[in-house]
Amino acid sequence: MSAGNSDFVLKVEGISKRFGGLQALQSVDMHVKPGEFHAIIGPNGAGKSTFFNTLTGLLKADEGRISFDGRNVTGLAPHRLTRLGMGRTFQITRVFHGMTVLENVQVALCAHAQQTWKVWTAASGLHVQRAKDLLERVGLAAQWARTAKTLAHGDQKRLELAIALASQPKLLLLDEPTAGMAAQERLASIQLVHQVAQQLGISCVFTEHDMAVVFAVASRITVLHQGKVLAVGLPQEVRASAVVQQVYLGEPVVTDGQPVPQG
Amino acid sequence: MTSHRKWAALVCTLLVLLPWSLSDFWIFIAIEVLAFALYAMSFNLLLGFGGMLSFGHAAFFGVGAYSAAIFFKRSGLDVTWMFTLAPLVAMGVSAVMAGMIGFFSVRRSGIYFSMLTFAFQMLLFTVAMKASGLTGGDDGITGLKPPGTLGTPMGYYWYALAWCLPCVYLLHRLVHSPFGLTLRALKDDPMRVQYVGVHVRQHQWVAFVISAACAGLAGALFAFSTGNVFPSWLNWTASATPVVMAVLGGVQSFYGPAVGAAVYVVLEVMISGKTEYWPLAMGIIIVLLVLLMPTGLVGRLKKVDT
């Protein structure tokens, strides 16, 4: 299986996951083309988080196959996925609170350069310029010397993005990138991610609750409902879909989850 | 940076000159401080930098002491070779032991990591108590005093210092290296560290082994200073000592645990000379210090130190 030789940067085929009596995911497919900004939406309990955690290697699927960049990555550990070029951010922002903003990015750059086993070199001088460039990109350049925990929540999100970018990902997975933000901050935040991803040629998959955010940036949408793919398509197709409207209006859905508009 | 080096040079010089200003008794205490400072700093590589609270660190101090003692009794080498090799043997055996214990312990985090290290330590304590043929059982191993110049307080102080300083320098380089930066990141958020592409357990395991090797050296140096090794060194109460020293001095700072060790040892000597209830007095002092200076003595003096 040759890497990099594929129409899809991410190809998920028939992923199923069961927790005891709960079928959290049932034969979920998803295809992400290079450069896509792919949203996963669905009501609470639809299986978004389970799906996301399976993609990022935290959970192992019972069935199915995940290919990334033309390579079978099913069941690979998170650090391996990251090294292959799959970055992620978390719903509840995870940065290194006790370290400076610069160090936060430096540690990711050291990891990317496979330097974490170096015990004799001083870390403080490594990748400083590259780290500052990344901070510039996310708009944190002026704050590089601050301790991460003193940053505002929105700035911590930016920092987490810079950390993820340090691994030079081909694909960025963002779990609720605007969670915990005020409504007016959300659009600006996702647009920053969108802009940076386009500049760097990174494909993105993100889960999101806020439909305004989704429709502002998504180039494609997968709708999950009760662990199945309810619909896949372009934003306007999904918005027009009767089944999706039913689900979001809270009416009982009788359909067996046939993917509506396929295209 | 240069001022940092000047400070380091000054402290090293003072440490070398120190025994000329002390009585034999206080030189003996200074040796204890050296050994326990190294022990507490090695322990703090795990707690303060890696965020791993080992409840069983006495295992490695004890294993180092016992392996040096057994090497002393059985190898039949002459004095020069003996005292060149014994600390290395202690470090090696402690490292191998930590390799095995760490292999299992780093598979769990938080309190479960602590409990695993605790359990392995109790296992080693039992071995030290029961394997009398090797360890002397209850009686431990005695008669470990080095002969000649090395047996004088001043001679042995310099010998111990000559082992401690390079070891501390090594730890210092380590915590400021990319490996050390990774450890600090691990302390903050192991999950995030996985997603920068780091194999978390491998790094924790290596830190555990390095820390244990340094603790083993400290154990060996202390054993030759007192001339004895006892199984109580491996008992769980002994694992509290580096915890208290590190917290007292400040776990956020590299040198904090060394200061904590010095304060702890000197206080213990001074108070135990006055009252047989010295653990009570020590307890009160530690409670007060922790309440009033939660970041430790060094943390109090210096707000940021890395």
pLDDT along chain A (263 residues), means of 10: 66 94 93 95 89 94 95 95 95 94 97 95 95 96 96 93 96 92 89 94 93 92 93 91 77 46 37
**Side chain identity at B178, as an amino acid letter?**
P
Distance (Å, rounded) from C-alpha A239 to C-alpha A49? 22
State percent of chain B over pLDDT 90. Answer: 80
Q: How close is the nearest chain B Cα to the Cα of A54, in Å?
A: 14
Taking the CA of residue B298 and the nearest CA in chain A, the distance in Å comes to 17
Q: What is the pLDDT of residue B76?
A: 86
CATH 3.40.50.10140 is the classification of domain A10-95+170-248 = no
> What is the model's pLDDT at position A259?
44
> How many whole angstroms separate alpha carbon A51 and alpha carbon A16?
9
Contact A116 B182 (CB under 8 A): yes
Q: What is the 3-state secondary structure (H, E, C) of A175-201?
A: ECCCCCCCHHHHHHHHHHHHHHHHHHC
State how far Cα A258 lies from the chain centre: 25
Q: What is the pLDDT of residue B298?
A: 84
Q: List CB contacts (< 8 A) between B199 and chain A.
A: 77, 79
Q: What pLDDT is attached to residue A249?
A: 59
Q: Are strands A171-175 and A86-89 parallel, antiparallel or unpaired?
A: parallel
8 Å CB contact of A111 and B198: yes
pLDDT tens by residue, B181-220 = 999 999 999 999 999 999 999 999 999 999 999 999 999 9
Instruction: Identify whether the C-beta of residue A86 lies closer than 8 Å to the C-beta of residue A68.
Output: yes
Q: Does B174 sit within 8 Å of A110, measured CB to CB?
A: no
User: Which of B192, B209, B304 to mutate: most A Cβ within 10 Å?
Assistant: B192
Q: pLDDT-based confidence at B305, cuts 50/70/90?
A: very low
**Is the CB of A107 less than 8 angstroms away from the CB of B182?**
yes
Residues from chain A contacting residue B176 (CB–CB below 8 Å): 122-124
> Considering only CA atoms, which of B243, B221, B228, B220 is closest in space to residue B63?
B220
pLDDT of residue A6: 60
Q: Residue A181: what pLDDT? A: 87
Radius of gyration of chain A (CA): 19
Which of B47, B181, B187 is the best mutation test for A, with the most CBs of A within 10 A?
B181
Mutate to test the interface with A, among B195, B198, B200, B211 (most CBs of A within 10 A): B195
User: For residue A79, which residues of chain B lie inside 8 Å, CB to CB?
Assistant: 194-195, 197-200
List residues in chain B touching A: CB distance below 8 A.
173-174, 176-182, 184-185, 187-189, 191-200, 203, 206
According to the model, what pLDDT value does residue A255 have? 45
**Domain extents for chain B?**
24-236
In this structure, the number of other CB atoms found within 10 A of the CB of residue A95 comes to: 26
Interchain CB distance below 8 Å, A82 and B182: no
Q: Which residues of B touch A83 (CB under 8 A)?
A: 197
- Cα–Cα distance, B204 to B211 (Å, whole number): 10
CA-based nearest residue in chain A for residue B306:
A99
Closest partner CB to B176 (pick from A90, A104, A122): A122
Q: Pick from A82, A119, A163: which is nearest to B177 by CB?
A: A119
Number of H helices, E strands in chain B: 14, 0
Predicted confidence band of residue B265 (pLDDT cuts 50, 70, 90): very high
Q: Which residues pair with A232 in a beta bridge?
A: A222
Residue B306 has what pLDDT? 43
Contact (CB<8Å) B189/A77:
no
Tell if the CB–CB gap between A82 and B197 is shorter than 8 Å.
yes
Torsion, Cα of A47, A53, A56, A57 (10° steps): -120
- Residue A18's pLDDT is 94
CA–CA gap between residue B306 and residue B304 (Å, rounded):
7
